[in-house]
């Protein structure tokens, strides 16, 4: 925290736009918070936490090897998992976050012993809050 304050003070002293720097840092932290709410809510099967991360109209899309292209309302999918046991042997990581204005994109990796789910989520800043509006994903064997 002291490091961030020192950087901000230095930026002010050299005549930069501190407001822009703070906004970018703040947006990154807010996007990261939203993504972590999704990852934690999904890991622990906590629908109330998941709901905070997703826009009510968010979509979830993927291609199934059996039935092809699939598209669903993300919150409806997660609501159907209420009451399930929390995930075990799972680790979550954020590979990257990219933000431009009020739009953001992130790559997430959810690792299980035998497979990795790679999520790409798109977020929008709506009324001051970052919400996931779209998630696409694919699975790959662990170690690839």
* Alpha-carbon gap, residue 64 to 68, rounded angstroms: 5
pLDDT tens across 68-91, in order? 999 999 999 999 988 888 888 999
pLDDT tens across 23-55, in order? 556 999 999 999 999 999 999 999 999 999 999
Contact 72, 62 (CB under 8 A): no
Alpha helices (H) in the chain, listed in sequence order: 2-13, 18-44, 47-53, 74-79
Domain residue ranges in the chain: 2-141
The torsion of the CA quartet 131, 142, 112, 63, rounded to 10 degrees, works out to: 50
> Which CATH fold would you assign to the domain 2-141?
Nuclear Transport Factor 2; Chain: A, (3.10.450)
pTM attached to this predicted model:
0.80
pLDDT tens across 89-134, in order? 999 999 999 999 999 999 999 999 999 999 999 999 999 999 999 9
Predicted local confidence at residue 25, as pLDDT: 60
């Amino acid at each position: 925290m002291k490091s961030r304050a020192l950087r901000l003070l230095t930026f002010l002293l050299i005549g930069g736009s501190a407001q822009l720097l703070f906004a970018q840092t703040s947006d990154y932290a807010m996007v990261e918070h939203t993504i972590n709410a999704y990852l934690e809510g999904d890991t622990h099967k906590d629908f109330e936490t998941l709901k905070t991360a997703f826009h009510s109209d968010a979509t979830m899309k993927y291609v199934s090897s059996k039935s092809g292209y699939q598209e669903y309302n993300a919150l409806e999918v997660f609501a159907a998992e209420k009451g399930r046991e929390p995930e075990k042997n799972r680790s979550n990581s954020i590979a990257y976050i990219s933000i431009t204005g009020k739009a953001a994109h992130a790559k997430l990796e959810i690792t299980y012993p035998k497979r990795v789910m790679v999520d790409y989520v798109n977020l929008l800043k709506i009324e001051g809050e970052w919400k996931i509006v779209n998630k696409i994903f694919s699975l790959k064997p662990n170690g690839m």
